[in-house]
Amino acid sequence: MNSNRKTAGFVGALFLTAMVASLLGGGLVGSVISTPNHLVTSENETLLIVGMLLELVNAIVVVGIASLMFPILKQHNETMAVGYLGLRIVEAVFCGMIVIAPMSLMTLSREYLKAGISEAQFQAAGILAIAERASVANLLILIFFCLGAFLLYSLLYQSKLLPRFISVWGLVAVVLVLIINLLSLKLEIGMGVSMVFALPIILNEIFMGIWLIVKGFNPSVDVPSSLP
């Protein structure tokens, strides 16, 4: 039982860490690269580096969550548990890839400030790097996140490892995220609208993380130990 509570506490802490690292890291990177000229100066380079490190932390934590949950979930549905682990690993790979664009902008900015490349070349390369990051972050990461989350909440609902209202809340929230991101492929969606659709899943993962830390898994459900 103590080991099970330890596992739940670790998973809960990782959910909270992933949320903070993802939101804060993305916010810091976005605040730098969203400027009209894309120039990374010495003043904002530190913010960019911190943001990228947080995004890498998020990528590592995503794999940690799936790895800790795998031995627990496979006792209830091994196929879905393997699917969840695989999807989160792919998601983590893309989470790591999105730091490539800001790293490229740092290099381009140094060359630009040294007058090594023209302004037109700098602007074109900067726009391309930012567009590539946006494609990965707003499409690929979110698709794999939603698929993985759908498997997780479905398994949690079936197994009753957590109260079912958390699972239902999560499933509805995942659908909302998927809808808004599919719509954004065809329509111009404002940041405010996107945040309204994303807020339920943000709150859900925060609530679930706190629940796991405080209460752990449902004691009436057989939970195998995944920590020594």
Q: Positive or negative, the Cα torsion across 21, 26, 32, 33?
A: positive
Task: Please report the pLDDT score of residue 222 as a whole number.
Answer: 55
Closest CA to 52 of 30, 68, 76, 72: 30
Q: Provide the percentage of residues in the chain whose pLDDT is more than 90.
A: 57
How far is residue 9 from each of residues 104, 209, 213, 217, measured CA to CA in Å?
38, 8, 4, 9
User: What mean pLDDT do residues 63-88 have?
Assistant: 95
- Res 4 pLDDT > 90: no
Interatomic CA distance for residues 43 and 50, integer angstroms: 13
Q: What ranges in the chain are assigned the alpha helix state H?
A: 2-33, 42-73, 78-97, 100-113, 119-135, 142-159, 164-183, 191-214
Q: At what angle do helices 191-214 and 2-33 cross, to 10 degrees?
A: 160
Q: What is the pLDDT of residues 87-116, one digit of tens each?
A: 999 999 999 999 988 888 887 777 766 765
Interatomic CA distance for residues 212 and 199, integer angstroms: 20
Q: Which of 30-34, 100-104, 152-156 has the highest mean pLDDT?
A: 152-156
Task: Please report the pLDDT score of residue 228 as a whole number.
Answer: 47
Q: Could you list the residue range(s) of the whole structural domain that residue 14 is in? A: 2-214
Specify if 94 maps to a domain: yes
Specify if 67 maps to a domain: yes
Specify if 223 maps to a domain: no
Specify if 225 maps to a domain: no
Q: Provide the percentage of residues in the chain whose pLDDT is more than 70.
A: 89
Specify if 227 maps to a domain: no
Specify if 187 maps to a domain: yes
Specify if 39 maps to a domain: yes
Q: Which tokens is 86 given?
A: 């695989």
Closest CA to 153 of 141, 165, 143: 165
Structurally, the chain folds into a number of domains equal to 1
Interatomic CA distance for residues 11 and 209, integer angstroms: 7
Q: Which tokens is 121 given?
A: 């070349």
Task: Please report the pLDDT score of residue 3 as a whole number.
Answer: 62
Specify if 226 maps to a domain: no
Q: How far apart are the first and last CA of the chain?
A: 12
Given a contact cutoff of 8 angstroms between Cβ atoms, the answer to whether 56 and 17 are in contact is no
